[in-house]
Chain A
Amino acid sequence: MKRLTPALLVLTLAACGAPTAQTVQSTSLNWAIETQPITLNPQLWAQNKVRLLVFNQFDALLSKAEDGTFRPWLAKAWQVSDDGLTYTLDLRDDVTFHDGTKFDAAAVKANLDQFLVPGYNPTVAAIQLKAFDKAEVLSPYQLKITLKEPDALFLDFLSSPYAGQVSPKSLKSAKNLKFGGPDLVGTGPFILDRYVQGQEIHYRRNPSYKWPPAAAAHQGPAHLSKITYRFLPEAAVRVGALTSGQVQVIEGVPATEVNLIKKDPNLALQASLNSGTAYSYYFNTSHAPFDDQRVREAFRQAVDVDAVLKSVYQGTATRAWSIVGRRSPFYDATLENTYGGDVAKANALLDEAGWKQRDAEGFRVKDGKRLTVREVASAPFVRDRRDILAQAIQAQVKQSAGIDFQVKIVDQGSAQKALDENEYELFGNSRGDSDVGAALNLILPAKGAINRTRFADPQVDKWLATASATSDQAERKELYAKVQQAAVRETAIVFPLYVPADQIAAHKSVQGLSFDPSSGTPASAYDVRIGT
């Protein structure tokens, strides 16, 4: 045994000497999150709030900056042909998956081809990859992607979790491909090593990581050696766990707790508006009473949005003026202060539309029918106290204009039934797409997959289609401005309320917490560190 010792010592010293001083640090962090992942497979990702987990384990091909431009990540350069049909990607040649296999053009091709497997992710295959034709390996680190038609949103796809690169070996061998988990491996700064449903998810540092996205604050492996995300769905419990030091970071800070956290000298609060669409009420224009533009405008005038937001969110919500969120580069600020909060005008519009009489309870009546509008919301998607917001608006429109606004929160099946049978007058929705064009394409076109206003305008359809086909940002901004003007001001089919935001509260000792520049949701833990 004795003779072995020097050899062991040398090995140990060599092992210590190799990494930089930074990586020797052993630091771990506990972070309480609100939402449980439905899947950990990035290519099947569906919850915006789970981005922070996905990008710990996986890297995308491109990254996206806040201004909407794209930056290198696993692809260090890319070229788009003039006709918008061919994308040539130059990949990094120094990247390795967690299972030791090499990242190269063949791996990217395998990932893209995976979406063509029937039943793998039919939604992505039909929407985001609608234009995808084929991927060809040009050389070990160069890949050519051919599209069937130009698609301005294709680069956005390459920067989304869907383009999170999974080791082709693990795509074949993973025990549960659809769910993901420790045996579905990526190239990210952290390695998933434990997932306990309903309790926590645990990552350890990837010691050989040196390929962060262009906007990262540092290079090399992550600062933290371990990170545990605990699932604590109850907001009060998350805040209690933070103030008592059982976790160092929480996300999803309720408005009622914001002041408590701000007053605590040991805690810091950060908030960021989400990308995508603002939370808005969409009016169903296919039947009475919202088939009449005057009634739609009256509903908006009857609500003092600022007062309602202040009482429901205690001053922490950001008012929206357009379907497009304020964070998007396509936001049209000229819509600000163009409508709302004029009770006299609301009543005049309703009188004009023929809703003149009032019944015993003070609601307006026309031809013996009460002015009733129904909102049907699916319980799993009600967040941010939107039920309370609806109640506040209900009270306002009743008092100020005699509108009977009924709010029903039901299970997903019942909500879908109401939508299918056109048994609703009002629909509340926000979307977190990193490029708001993707959301508008679903909501506004006559044949949009979630066109729940049942509004149809060929001009708007044309503007949207043109904006999707061009990658000229200035031209897209101009087109989307026209779309917003049409939907919000000219036809009043939408009533924008507030821009959803994410919050992070943390102990002051935790540094480097930030938000994903493309989505506005909390970023991965790559740049997070503890101490000075």
Chain B
Amino acid sequence: MIKRLGTGLAVLWAAATASYVALLLAPGDTVDILVGDGADTPEIRAGIVAEWGLDRPQIVQYLAYLWRLLHGDLGRSYQQQRGVGEILATQLGPTAQLTLAAAATGVALAGVIAVVTAGRGRWLRGAASAAELVSVSVPPFLIGIVLLSVFSFTLGWFPVSGAQGPQALVLPALALGLPIAGVLGQVLRGGLERALEQPFTVTARARGLTERALVARHALRHALIPVVTLAGWFTGTLLGGAVITEVLFGRPGLGQVALQAVTGRDMPVVMAVVLLSAVVYVTISTLLDLAYRVIDPRIRADR
């Protein structure tokens, strides 16, 4: 467990350093960003350089940055002129809500579709496959617009924007969850079908197990392994997709903060978002390792 913690910290340090270097190498001058679209004069620039400590050697600025990070100080946003920690704190909740809801939607849809269609007639499989393919290949932006046009603008079932109440969460969670359902559905069905062809199913059937019980109790467990492996990809998709989904639906959250920060080259905010993503990634992969052991007893035995 201590080893894992060490690896996690190393990954975080690498992420912090990589984002620092990447933004350093990006073209343009930080002072220009801080000046904004307004007019600048040498006096204004000098004032900004002094205020933000931009005249210190790069390595000093980097070490100061790491030192502040260690103390939980994420710095101050160039654009919004307030603490990055404060910005993230207010935006974390809505994004967590959205991504969790989207993940749940994706997993639930994939599970239902896979269980219903696995090993069934060609026609049903074909239809499910086609639907999955569409949900994966159509950009989330378009999925979102279509969902809005039908269920919000035309039918009026759900509000377009805001984060008040569970109703406002339905369409964004669907827009973000559908592509995940598409990929997971395919993988899960493939896994189920492979599992159903394994020798143990013959024994199970011989014991008089119904087909439904067989799928639910035995095959599903086998099919879950590749799905869990995919969860890493899945986390990335959710974090990336949140940017588009939040902007489209006018929801608060890290996505729109990240977008504003990247286009405005607001370095402290960009770096904090990168770090946060790394933390989420490290946490998820640790949890996955634990999940493998629960799902597959063979892994437990090995170690």
Interface residues of A (CB under 8 A from B): 32, 36, 38-39, 44, 46, 118-119, 122-123, 126-127, 176, 178-179, 196-200, 230-234, 236-237, 240-241, 243-246, 379-381, 411-417, 420, 442, 449-450
Contacts and interface: CB of A to CB of B under 8 A. Distances in A.
B302 interface: no
A199 B251 CA distance: 5
Interface stretch (B12-20, B32-40, B105-113, B276-284): B32-40
B276 to A, nearest CB: 16
B240 interface: no
B2 interface: no
Given A200-B162, A413-B26, A413-B33, A122 B44 contact: yes
B14 to A, nearest CB: 24
A10 to B, nearest CB: 38
Interface stretch (B61-69, B77-85, B195-203): B77-85
B33 A412 contact: yes
A449 B253 contact: no
The 5 closest A-B pairs by CB, nearest first: A413-B28, A449-B39, A178-B81, A198-B252, A240-B153
Given A32-B250, A411-B263, 20 more contacts: A122-B43, A122-B47, A122-B48, A127-B41, A197-B252, A198-B256, A199-B251, A230-B162, A231-B161, A237-B248, A244-B152, A244-B154, A244-B156, A246-B160, A381-B37, A411-B27, A413-B28, A413-B32, A414-B27, A415-B28
B167 interface: no
A422 B35 CA distance: 19
B247 A234 contact: yes
B265 A442 contact: no
Contact of A417 (B27, B82, B246): B27
A236 B145 contact: yes
B81 A39 contact: yes
A450 B32 CA distance: 13
Count chain B CB atoms within 10 A of each CB in A36, A199, A234, A246 and give the residue with the most: A199
A7 B260 CA distance: 55
B170 interface: no
B39 A246 contact: no
A123 B39 contact: yes
A189 B257 CA distance: 30
Contact of A123 (B40, B163, B248, B251): B40
B148 A36 contact: no
Nearest to A442: B39
Contacts of A240: 148-149, 152-153, 160
Contacts of B247: 233-234
Contacts of B43: 122, 126
Given A122-B48, A232-B160, A237-B160, A379 B26 contact: no
Interface string B69-107: 000000000011110001100110010000000000000
9 contacts: A38-B80, A179-B82, A196-B252, A197-B257, A199-B252, A237-B148, A246-B160, A413-B26, A414-B26
B264 interface: yes
Contacts of B152: 240-241, 244, 246
Contacts of B26: 411, 413-414
B70 to A, nearest CB: 25
A417 B28 contact: yes
Contact of B260 (A36, A127, A414): A36
Contact of B265 (A38, A44, A411): A411
Nearest to A441: B39
B160 A178 contact: no
Nearest to B46: A122
A241 B251 CA distance: 14
B265 A241 contact: no
- Which of B36, B91, B250, B264 has its CB near the most chain A CB atoms (within 10 A)? B250
A236 B262 CA distance: 23
Contacts of B248: 234, 237
A123 to B, nearest CB: 4
Contacts of A233: 247, 250, 256
Interface magnitude class on chain B: 35 or more
A411 B270 CA distance: 14
A199 B39 contact: no
Contacts of B48: 122
Nearest to B51: A119
B259 to A, nearest CB: 9
B278 to A, nearest CB: 22
Contacts of B40: 123, 449
B252 A241 contact: no
Contacts of B251: 198-199
A506 to B, nearest CB: 17
Contact of A197 (B33, B36, B91): B91
B75 to A, nearest CB: 14
A13 B33 CA distance: 56
A199 to B, nearest CB: 4
A59 B299 CA distance: 69
A483 B13 CA distance: 57
Contact of A126 (B37, B44, B260): B44
A234 B247 CA distance: 7
A245 B86 CA distance: 34
Given A123-B44, A198-B91, A234-B247, A414 B35 contact: no
B80 A232 contact: no
Given A39-B81, A246-B152, A46 B162 contact: no
Contact of A413 (B29, B47, B249): B29
Contacts of B250: 32, 198-200, 230-233, 237
Interface in B189-244: none
A46 B38 CA distance: 8
B159 interface: yes
A126 B253 CA distance: 36
B263 A39 contact: no
Contacts of A245: 156
Given A119-B47, A122-B48, A176 B28 contact: no
B163 A118 contact: no
A395 to B, nearest CB: 26
Contacts of B51: 119
**Which of B81, B86, B90, B162 has the most chain A CB atoms inside 10 A of its CB?**
B81
A38 B257 CA distance: 11
Contacts of A200: 161-162, 250
Contacts of B28: 411-417
Contacts of A122: 43-44, 47-48
A411 B264 CA distance: 8
Contact of A198 (B33, B145, B257, B264): B257
Interface in B261-290: 262-265
